[in-house]
Amino acid sequence: MAVDVEVLQALIDEKLTPLVKKIDEEAYYAEDFLVALGRAGFFHSSQKDEHKILLDELTIVQETAKVCMTTAFCLWCHLAALTYIRKTKNKQLRAEILPLLESGELLGATGLSNPMKFYADLEKLHLSAERVNGGYLVNGILPAVSNLADNHWFGAVAYNGEKEVMLFVNTDNPQITLKEKIHFLGVNGSATYTCKFDNVFVTDDYVVAQDASGFVDMIRPTFVLYQIPLGFGVIESSIIGIEKVKAKQNGCNEYLQIQADELAQKLQQLEDSLETLVQSDETDLQAICQLRLQTVYATLAAVQANMLHNGSAGYIVGSAPSRKLREAYFFANLTPTVRQLEKMTKVLKVAE
């Protein structure tokens, strides 16, 4: 059974659409919407194969991003956390946490922005883990982890002296200090925090992977794949925005170089490519990164076209076109960023 789009749309209309301006302008975190998705069963994975899980959850991200990409980004964070727990070999961790994440009783985050850059040879790893009896003592600072609040869980990768280990930690740990970051150009409602670890004890029960490098290699394709419909939703909403002002100034917009039908055709091509990747039996990181990169540039083109079609109305503070513009620039800077993707796609291609 496919995603019940009517039920999903009803949840969006009730718990997200009325809050979009508050999310954008007051850094409001739409936690209740994410919880509602879980309670409605949208994260349940039982009796589904991996293709079905991906296609359903990609649809949820895209439909959410059409209305609010900030919240869709938070949704992506939660899906990333779900991926960690679905893929871990730690059966106890999976049995304890997965049902709570899928039901919306708990919400999760990624914590892998720094590790993803580390494994792409762009940054040093910010966390260290000292092996002690029954677990690890973790120290260091993660500059930015999104989708966090009380009793939220997120992944963390730390160097233990020999290799990297991946852990699952809770924001309620008294040795973790959170400092909110809200001075972004956009997506201030993403519940983003700097996370300082001060001798945080993580028991072996919450070790996602003793070999983080191998685990990240395994989950990276899904991690990136879930980001792609963030752009799709923004493109789709930009097309709608362009169509709304079609008759503006006696139809003068028809002379602009980029039109809605061109954007719609490009979006369809990208959507078809995504479905082909998901249905493929082989995970092709090169192809996924290439599609993610194409989606970034298509999204940037769509929001710019939306601004031009809307004219001065788009430049009013709080306007939908200006919000979409800022969302698109965040999407371009979301790890893996556009510059990281440019490097990854070229390095991976050379390595083939």
- Range 113-214 classified under CATH 2.40.110.10: yes
The β-bridge relationship of strands 164-170 and 152-159 is antiparallel
What pLDDT score does 120 carry?
A: 86
3-state secondary structure of 211: coil
Sequential pLDDT tens for the chain (352 residues): 478 899 999 999 999 999 999 999 999 999 999 999 999 999 999 888 888 999 999 999 999 999 999 999 999 999 999 999 999 999 999 999 999 999 999 999 999 999 999 998 889 999 999 999 999 999 999 999 999 999 999 999 999 999 999 999 999 999 999 999 988 887 889 999 999 999 999 999 999 999 999 999 999 999 999 999 999 999 999 999 999 999 888 889 899 899 999 999 999 999 999 999 998 866 788 999 999 999 999 999 999 999 999 999 999 988 999 999 999 999 999 999 999 999 888 876 554 4
In the chain, where does the domain assigned CATH 1.10.540.10 lie?
5-109
In the chain, where does the domain assigned CATH 2.40.110.10 lie?
113-214
* Domain 227-351, CATH number (from 1.10.20.60, 3.60.21.10, 1.20.140.10, 3.40.50.1100): 1.20.140.10
The answer to whether 241 and 309 are in contact (CB under 8 A) is yes
Return all residues near 126 (Cβ < 8 A) that are at least 6 apart.
114, 140, 141, 142, 143
What pLDDT score does 267 carry?
A: 98
Class of domain 5-109 as given by CATH: mainly alpha
- Cα 188 vs. chain centroid, distance in angstroms? 14
- What tokens were used for 335? 């790890």
In the chain, where does the domain assigned CATH 1.20.140.10 lie?
227-351
The answer to whether 232 and 269 are in contact (CB under 8 A) is no
Euclidean distance between CA atoms 223 and 116, whole angstroms: 10
